[in-house]
Structure 1
Amino acid sequence: MLTRRSALIAAALTPLAAHAQSWAPSRPVRLVVPFPAGGATDVVARVLGEHMSGTLGQPVVVENRTGAGGNVGAETVVRSPPDGHNLLMGTMGGLTINPHLYRGMSFDPARDLVGIGMAFETVHVLIVHPAVPATTVGELIALAKAQPTRLAYGSAGAGSSTHMVAELFRLTAGIELTHVPYRGSAPALNDTVAGTVQIMLDQLPSCIGQVQAGRVRALAVTGAARHPLLPEVPSMAEAGLAGASATSWGAIMAPTGTPAPAIARLNAALNAALGDVSVRARLVQAGADPVSSTPEAVAERMRTETAMWGRVVREANITIN
C-alpha cells in the first residue's frame, strides 16, 4: 500500500513522466564540454552521452569548445536554438563562480541556461605537507593564527575550484594564508608534495594517490560526510567548519526556452544513465561521484552557490587577469 509520502512523490513525478513521453530528438544531440578532451568533465560527458544515446534513439555527440574558464563553450550553447538538441556539460565554476570573476560576460547562466539534471560531484581534500606540525584542522588553524601569512597554499590558478574552495576554508576559519597560483592542479600538487607550499585543497581524484602513499597528510574532506575512499578523514563539518563544506560538480544544461517535454525526456535519459551500474562504475573510476536530480534541484543549487561564491569573491577580493 502506498504511504502518503510515496503518493506525493508519485504525484509530483507524473507530469514530468508525461512530458518525457511526448518529445524525442529528431537528429543527433550536441553536448558541449567547455574544457579540453581527456579531462574528467569530458570523460563524464562521454560516458553519460553514450548511455543517453541508446535511451534517446539519437547519438549524443560530445563537442569540446574551450576558452575563458568555460565561458566560450557555455556561450556556444546559450546562442544555440532551444530545441532540446543543444546541451552543455556545465560545471560549478562556469555556472556559479565565473559571473563574479568575468565582468564582461555576455550571458548570465542563471537567466540564459536551464538545468536538465545534476551529473556528478567531486569533493576536495585539505592536505598538508608532512612537515607541517598539524594533524587536525584545529591544529592547522591554530598554527596559521600563530604565524599569519607564513603558510602558503597552492591552487590550479586564480578563480579555479582549488582556489575558491581554499578561500572559503580560509574565510570560514578566520585565518590568513598566502595564495600561490599555478597553471593547473598537477604542478600545485607537486609543490605541495615537495613542501614548496604547505597546503592545498585539491580535488580527491587528483591527490588520493599522494595521500595513500603518505606523501601528504589529509586533514579533512569538503563533502557533507566522510568519503568512502578516505573513511578515516573527517568532513569539514565534523572538524567544526560546516561553512567550509563545498564540492566541485557538473550538471547538464540547455538554453533557456527549451520546451518542457524536451527537458523532461532528457532528464529521464540522464537519470537512467546515472542509475546504470556500469555507468556509475566508470564515473567513479574517472573520479566523479554520480549524482542525479530534478531540473529544479539544479536551479536551486545554482542560486545557493552563486550567492556563496559571490561572497567569497568579494570578501577575499579575488580577481583574474
Structure 2
Amino acid sequence: MSVARAQEAWPDRPIRLVVPFAPGGVTDSIGRLSAEWLSNRLGKPVVVENRSGGNGSIATEFVAASRPDGYTLLVASASQFAVLPALTPVRYDPVQSFAPISIVASNPFALAVPAKLGVSNLQEFVALAKRDDTLNYASAGNGSGSHLTMALFLRRAGIEMQHVPYRGGGPATQDLLAGRVAAYFGNPAEVVPQAQGGTVRIIATSGSTRVPELPDVPTVAEQGVAGLVTETWNGLAAPAGTPPAVVARIAEAMRPACQDAAFRASLARLGVDPVCNGPAEMGARVAADLPVWKEAVQISGATLD
C-alpha cells in the first residue's frame, strides 16, 4: 500500500497510547479519558499502556523511537517536555523528537498559606517574608512544579525561604494544614478543598489568568510580581515524522472534547482546566515553556531525588 493510501486508511487497527506513569494519577486519568474519547471518534480501540520509570523518561524515549505511523502516541506533559530535560540528560528532544497534537488540559499552581499566618494577599506575604527569615515552604519534591514555581517566585519577589521537600503533594498539604510550613505552591485540586474549609488561605495563582474555581484570587502578576507564569499541562504527541494529515485528524477528533459537558466534568474532578488546542498551539507552548523551566531549575539548584 502506498503512503498516501495508508494515510487515507488510517486508522485500520488499534492505536496505542503510552502513559509515562503508573495508573491512578492525573496524567493517567487524562490519558484514559482521551483514549475513550478518541476510540469513539476514530472507530478503532485506543489502548492505554502504562510505562512508568525514569521520572517519565522511559515512556517518552520509547515513543520518540517508535514508528511514526500514528499508531503509537504519548500522553505528554510539561514535566517530560520542559522540566525533565533541564534536570537530567534524556535521549529525546522535546521539540525535534515529537509531532505535537493537542494539549488536553492544564492548570496553574495555587499559593496556599495557613490561615493562622495572618496574611490575605501576596503583598502581605512578601512583607512578612522580608521581616521573618525563618519562614519555610513545602514542595511536592525536588524539581517538582511546586518547587520550581516557588523558586521563580522567590527570585522575582526578592525574598528567601527555606525549602522543605516532600514525597508528593499529599504530605506537603498535610504539613501545610498542620502549620509546620508557611506556604505551598500546590495544584488547585490539593489546596482548594482545604481553603474552602477555612484551614488555609489561597493568596495567588501562577497562571496567565485566574483559576475558574478561584475567581476572587488574583494571579501573581496581577499582584505586582512580574515575570512569573507557570502552568502544568497534559496532552498528546506523536513521534516526529508522523504524517501531518494523521496528526491533524487526531487533533480535530480531540478538539470537541473540551466542549462536551461530561468530558469537562471529568477534567474538573481532576482539578484541571480544559484546553483541547491544536498542533501549532501545543508546539508554541512547549517552545515557551523550555526557557521558563530551565531558568527555574538553575535558580533552584534542583536535582532529581
Taking structure 1 as the reference length, what is the TM-score of the superposition? Answer: 0.90
Hey, what does 2:27 align to over in structure 1?
Answer: 41
Hey, what does 2:60 align to over in structure 1?
Answer: 74
**Consecutive unaligned residues in structure 2, runs of 5 or more:** 1-6
- Matched to 1:198, the amino acid is A
Is 1:64 the counterpart of 2:50 in the alignment? yes
Query: 1: CA distance between counterparts of 2:177 and 2:297?
Result: 28
Is 1:293 the counterpart of 2:297 in the alignment? no
Instruction: Please say if residues 157 and 181 of structure 1, whose CA atoms lie closer than 8 Å, have aligned partners that are also in contact.
Output: yes
Instruction: Please say if residues 207 and 229 of structure 2, whose CA atoms lie closer than 8 Å, have aligned partners that are also in contact.
Output: yes
Query: 1: CA distance between counterparts of 2:9 and 2:207?
Result: 36
Q: Secondary structure at the match of 1:111?
A: coil
Q: Secondary structure at the match of 1:220?
A: strand
Q: Which moved more, 1:218-227 or 1:176-185?
A: 218-227
- Matched to 2:186, the amino acid is D
Query: 1: CA distance between counterparts of 2:257 and 2:45?
Result: 14
CA RMSD of aligned residues (A): 1.6
Instruction: Please say if residues 115 and 252 of structure 1, whose CA atoms lie closer than 8 Å, have aligned partners that are also in contact.
Output: yes
**CA pair 291-23 structure 1, distance change in 2 beyond 3 A:** farther
Is 1:319 the counterpart of 2:288 in the alignment? no
- Matched to 2:76, the amino acid is G
- Matched to 1:53, the amino acid is S
**CA pair 262-23 structure 1, distance change in 2 beyond 3 A:** farther
Is 1:305 the counterpart of 2:289 in the alignment? yes
Q: Secondary structure at the match of 2:112?
A: strand
Hey, what does 2:102 align to over in structure 1?
Answer: 117
Query: 2: CA distance between counterparts of 1:100 and 1:23?
Result: 39
How far 1:250 sits from its partner (Å)? 1.1
How far 1:137 sits from its partner (Å)? 0.4
**Consecutive unaligned residues in structure 1, runs of 5 or more:** 1-20
1:129 is matched with which residue: 108, 114, 118? 114
2:174 is matched with which residue: 179, 183, 190? 190
User: Per-residue displacement from partner, 1:111-162 (whole Å, max 9, x unpaired)?
Assistant: 21120111101121101112223211011111112223x1111111111111
How far 1:274 sits from its partner (Å)? 2.6
Hey, what does 1:12 align to over in structure 2?
Answer: none
User: Per-residue displacement from partner, 1:145-181 (whole Å, max 9, x unpaired)?
Assistant: 2223x11111111111111111121121111111111
Hey, what does 2:39 align to over in structure 1?
Answer: 53
2:152 is matched with which residue: 162, 168, 192? 168
Q: Secondary structure at the match of 2:163?
A: strand
- Matched to 2:62, the amino acid is T
Instruction: Please say if residues 24 and 265 of structure 1, whose CA atoms lie closer than 8 Å, have aligned partners that are also in contact.
Output: no
- Percent identity at matched positions? 38
Q: Secondary structure at the match of 1:109?
A: coil
Instruction: Please say if residues 152 and 299 of structure 2, whose CA atoms lie closer than 8 Å, have aligned partners that are also in contact.
Output: no
Hey, what does 1:241 align to over in structure 2?
Answer: 225
Query: 2: CA distance between counterparts of 1:64 and 1:241?
Result: 39
Is 1:229 the counterpart of 2:213 in the alignment? yes
Which consecutive aligned stretches of 4+ in structure 1 deviate over 4 angstroms post-superposition? none
Q: Secondary structure at the match of 2:276?
A: coil
Query: 2: CA distance between counterparts of 1:224 and 1:106?
Result: 31
1:208 is matched with which residue: 177, 181, 192? 192
How far 1:23 sits from its partner (Å)? 5.3
How far 1:30 sits from its partner (Å)? 0.9
- Matched to 1:202, the amino acid is G
Query: 2: CA distance between counterparts of 1:173 and 1:65?
Result: 39
- Matched to 2:123, the amino acid is G
**CA pair 317-258 structure 1, distance change in 2 beyond 3 A:** same
Hey, what does 2:88 align to over in structure 1?
Answer: 102
How far 1:235 sits from its partner (Å)? 1.4
